[in-house]
Amino acid sequence: MTTIDVSAVRTRFTGQIVAPGDDGYDRARTLFYGGFDPKPAVVIRPSDPAEVAGVIALARETGLDLAVRCGGHSIAGHSVVDGGIVLDLAHLRAIAVDVDERTVWAQTGLTAGDVTKAVAERGLAIGFGDTGTVGIGGITTGGGVGYLSRKYGMTIDNVLAAEVVTADGQILQVDADSHPDLFWAVRGGGGNFGVVTRFKYQLHELPEVVGGMLLLPATPEVVHGFIREAAAAPEELSVIVNVMPAPPMPFVPEHVRGSLVVLGLVCYAGPAEEGAKVLAPIRALAEPIADFVRPITYPEMFPEGEGGEEFHPTAASRTLFADELDLPRITQILERLRTAPAPMRVTQFRPLGGAISRVADDATAYAHRGRAFMVNVASFLDGPDTRAEREQWVLDTAAIAENGAPGAYVNFLGDDGPARAREAYPGATWERLTQVKRQYDPDNLFHRNVNIPPAS
C-alpha cells in the first residue's frame, strides 16, 4: 500500500487534517452504524471547493482509496476507508436562503436538521429523510424519501442546481441546462460522479405540520389498517410504520415493553384541523399506547440528539419494494417478528405514491416512481457470531414482503453486491448511468459507494 506524508499534507491544505495519533482521530473515523473499525491514513476537511479538488488530486497522485464523508450514515461503511484518504465535508457549512425565490443554497457539510431549522425560521421547508443527523450530500444524491415526500416529492425532485467537483478536479455548476447528464445522475445515482459541494433546493411554505409518534398494539389488523389508511390518505400525509418490540421508554407501560407494537411516525403537511380528520381512522384502529401526534413546527419531527454519540447500531438489513401488502402477508410477517431470535428486530413499511409517483422514471436516476410501498427489514446483532443467523432471518422475512419487480432504494443498501446495485438502477437507468460515469469518472476513482462502473 502506498504511504502518505502527513506532514506534507498539512502544508498543502488550509483545512483541518486529522491523522493517527491526533486528538479527534477516533471520532473522525467513527461511523453512525457499528460493526466497522476503519483506520484511514488521513482525514481531510477541506475549507472550500478548490481544496476538495486538491484532495481528489491527492488521491489520484498516491493511488490511495478515497472515501467521501458527509454525515457518516452509510449503512455499508463507505464514508470512511481503511488505510486511505477520507474527504470529510464537515467544514463546508455555508447556507443562503432566498425568501422571495423560496430557494436555498446549502453546502454538503450541513445535516438535514441544520438545513431544516434554518429554512423553518422563514416559514419554509425542504424534505429530506427521517433523521436530522444525516448529511444532506449523501441523502440527496441517493434520492431522499421522508416525511414530506408524498406532498412535495423526494429531495431530488426539489434540487434546482448543484456544484460538483469531478474526478479530474473541475468545479462544475450543473443544472437542467448546464451539464444536464451530470445533473440527472447526481439526483439519485449516489456519489459515483463527483463530490457535490452544494445544492440549490426549491423550498415550500410550511408554517406547521401535524406530526409525531403514535404507538399502537401490533395485531395483523392494526398494521394492515395503518398501512391501508395511510396509502389512501391525501398526499399531505406521509407515515413510517415500524413494527418492533416496544422499547423500555418511560411512556411505555411496563407490561407492554418487549411485546410487538406499531411505532408510527406521522407527518401531515397541512392545517391542524384537516390533519386531525385524516388521522382519525388510524387512531381508531386501536386504543393508542401513546399518542404524541400534535400540531408542531416541521423541525420538531427531528428530535435533538437522536440516538446520542454512543449509539452505533449493528444490524443485518434489507431494503425492497412491494406493490401489495395484504392481510395474509402482514400476518406472516408479524408471526416471524414474534418468534424472531433477535431481541431487537423491526419491519418498516413506507407507503409511497403521491408526488413521488408523478415524476417519470427517467426524469432522475431514481427509477421506482410507481412502487406502492418501500419495506425495510432489520435484525440487530448481539455480536459477530449472530450475524449469519440474523441475516438469514432478514432474507426470509423480506421474501414474504417482496412482490412485484425486484428493486432497492440505494440509500438503504448495505454491502449487498453488484446484483442489488442493478436492482437499485434497473434497465435503461443503469445503462445511462454507466455512460455518465465513463464521461466524468472513467477510472472509477469514486468507487466507495453502491458502485456504478464506467461503461466499457
Do 255 and 287 sit in the same domain of this protein?
A: yes
User: Are 253 and 236 members of one domain?
Assistant: yes
pLDDT of residue 312: 87
* Sequence-ordered list of residues with C-beta below 8 angstroms from that of 160, at least 6 positions apart, any chain: 103, 175, 200, 201, 202
Taking only the tens place, the pLDDT of each residue in 396-406 is 999 999 999 99
pLDDT at 306: 60
Q: What is the pLDDT of residue 111?
A: 98
Specify if 418 maps to a domain.
no
- Three-point CA angle 38, 39, 45, nearest 5°: 100
Please state the domain count of the chain.
3
Q: Can you give the pTM of this predicted structure?
A: 0.96
Asked if residue 289 and residue 371 are part of one domain, the reply reads yes
Same domain, 250 and 378: yes
Three-state helix/strand/coil letters over the chain: CCCCCHHHHHHHCCCEEECCCCCCHHHHHCCCCCCCCCCCCEEEECCCHHHHHHHHHHHHHHCCCEEEECCCCCCCCCCCCCCCEEEECCCCCCEEEECCCCEEEEECCCEHHHHHHHHHCCCEECCCCCCCCCEHHHHHHHCCCCCCHHHHCCHHHHEEEEEEECCCCCEEEECCCCCHHHHHHHCCCCCCCCEEEEEEEECEECCCEEEEEEEEECCHHHHHHHHHHHHHCCCCEEEEEEEEECCCCCCCCCCCCCCEEEEEEEEECCCHHHHHHHHHHHHCCCCCCEECCEEECHHHHCCCCCCCCCCCCCEEEEEEEECCCCHHHHHHHHHHHHCCCCCCEEEEEEECCHHHHHCCCCCCCCCCCCCCEEEEEEEECCCHHHHHHHHHHHHHHHHHHCECCCCCCHHHCCCCCHHHHHHHCCHHHHHHHHHHHHHHCCCCCCCCCCCCCCCC
Q: What are the pLDDT digits (tens) for 83-122?
A: 999 999 999 999 999 999 999 999 999 999 999 999 999 9
Q: Pick the closest to residue 444 from 142, 31, 132, 167 (CA basis).
A: 167
For residue 66, what is the domain's CATH number?
3.30.43.10
Q: What is the mean predicted confidence (pLDDT) over 37-58?
A: 98
* Same domain flag for 26 and 53: yes
Q: Quick one: 124 and 224 in the same domain?
A: no
- Provide the grid cell at 153: 416529492
Mean pLDDT of 314-324: 97
Are both 266 and 331 inside the same structural domain?
Answer: yes
Does the pLDDT of residue 1 top 60, yes or no?
A: no
- Strand pairing category for 290-291 and 373-380: unpaired
pLDDT at 305 (0 to 100) = 64
Answer with the one of 205, 226, 255 that is the final residue of a domain. Answer: 205
Mean pLDDT of 124-139: 97
Residue 406 CB partners (closer than 8 Å, separation 6+): 320, 423
* One domain for residues 390 and 245: yes
Residue 252, pLDDT > 70, answer: yes
Quote the pLDDT of residue 304. Answer: 76
Could you give the angle at which helices 220-232 and 327-338 cross, rounded to 10 degrees?
Answer: 130
Is residue 285 domain-resident?
yes
Question: Which residue, among 38, 121, 63, has the nearest Cα to 444 in the 3D structure?
Answer: 63
Residue 178, pLDDT > 70, answer yes
CATH number, residue 146: 3.30.465.10
**Mean predicted confidence (pLDDT) in 183-202:** 98
- Alpha-carbon distance of 451 to 456, in angstroms, equals 15
Domain membership of residue 436 (yes or no) is no
| Mean per-residue pLDDT, 46-70 | 97
The confidence score (pLDDT) of residue 105 equals: 98
**Rg, Å, the chain Cα set:** 22
Structural domain including 262 reads: 209-412
End-to-end CA distance of the chain: 27
pLDDT confidence of residue 310: 75
The answer to whether residues 234 and 147 belong to one domain is: no
Query: Would you say 46 and 17 are in contact if contact means Cβ atoms under 8 Å apart?
Result: no
Q: Is the dihedral of CA 184, 410, 433, 404 positive or negative?
A: negative
One domain, residues 154 and 179 = yes
Give me the CATH number covering residue 276: 3.40.462.20
Give the domain-ending residue among 205, 230, 259: 205
- The DSSP bridge partners found for residue 173 are 163
Residue 313 pLDDT grade (very low, low, confident, very high; cuts 50, 70, 90) = confident
* 18 in any annotated domain: yes
Share the mean pLDDT of the chain. Answer: 96
How many whole angstroms separate alpha carbon 122 and alpha carbon 99? 7
Same domain, 199 and 58: no
Domain-ending residue, one of 41, 66, 88: 88
Residue at 173 is within a domain: yes
Quote the pLDDT of residue 290: 97
| Statement to judge: residues 233 and 361 lie in one domain | yes
Interior angle at CA 28, CA 22 and CA 31, nearest 5: 150
